[in-house]
Each structure stands twice: as C-alpha cells, then as structure tokens.
Amino acid sequence: MRIRYSNVVRVLLTAVASACFTGSTGSGLTGISGGDNGGSTTAPVLGFFVQPNSANVGQVISPPVEVVVCDSVGSIDSSFTESVTVGLASNPTGASLSGATLVRPVNGIATFSTLRIDKAGTYTLQASASDAATVTSTAFSIATVTTP
C-alpha cells in the first residue's frame, strides 16, 4: 500500500490546527492574540481535570473535583500559584455548596476534596481564577438518601 505524501501532510496539519483552537479571544489560535507585541503574558486556561460525580445530599463528592491550570499552549502550568475558586453554576434548588471552595493548585492542579451540596437536584460547577476565563463542569446529580 502506498501512502501519498500530500495525505500525510494534510493529516498532520489538521491535527496541529485542531489542537490550537480553544475558543479564546483573539485569532482563535492559542497564544496568538495581538496587542501585546508577542509577550508571554497570556491568561491561564482552566479545565475540569476530574469532573464532579453524583453523590447523596450532604455527602462529599468523590472522587475529589480537580481543576487543571494550563498555559497558552495547553501544557499544565505547574508554576501557577493563585487560588482557584469553584461555585455552583446552575442551582435550580437554591442549594448551598460547602467545603473548601478556594484552593491553591499544586503542580497546576487544584483539588477540591471536601465539596458537598445540601439539597437534591442536578447541578454544574463553575471554576474561576484571576485573569482566566471561567469554565463550567458537566452536569451531575445529588440524590436524597432513602432508608428502608
């Protein structure tokens, strides 16, 4: 089987280009945003490394929710030391999120190991840090505990 050079190049260019698009402001390419004369002062990018799982009312969400801080090229930014905050993004029941909601990342990952919600429902979390766009988790459920 013969592989044409042009097909290989097209696949590689497509892979590289698709990895660069993040939906950020500017040109749409990570790290390319005009106005700063090519400086390296790009905003950190947040993402949910471990999404929240379903739990029972008042129970700690397990495994712990983790938010990763990345640099402009998508690598984990282990030098980021500012706090990351999580809160309820969608809260149809008026529930309260308790536990440590403000955490400093270690090696670029903020671990929220004590989060719990006090009412049954379906929720999403939102993570934020200074100079970074907020990011929203996938939806998860909190159930009422029933006893026999």
| Residues in Cβ contact with 96 at an 8 Å cutoff, skipping those fewer than 6 apart | 117, 118, 119
pLDDT in tens, 11-49: 443 433 333 334 333 333 333 233 333 344 678 999 999
Task: Collapse the DSSP code of 1 into the 3-class scheme (helix H, G, I; strand E, B; otherwise coil) and give the result.
Answer: coil
Burial class, 22, CB count within 10 angstroms (exposed 0-12 / middle 13-18 / buried 19+) = middle
Give pLDDT, residue 57: 96
**Which 8-state DSSP code applies to residue 132?**
S
Helix, strand, or coil here: 66?
A: strand
Q: Are 25 and 33 in contact (CB under 8 A)?
A: yes
| pTM as predicted | 0.71
Compute the average pLDDT of residues 63-82: 94
| Tokens, residue 58 | 């008042």
- Residue of 74, 18, 83, 19 lying closest to 49 (CA atoms): 74
Say what the pLDDT of residue 63 is. 97
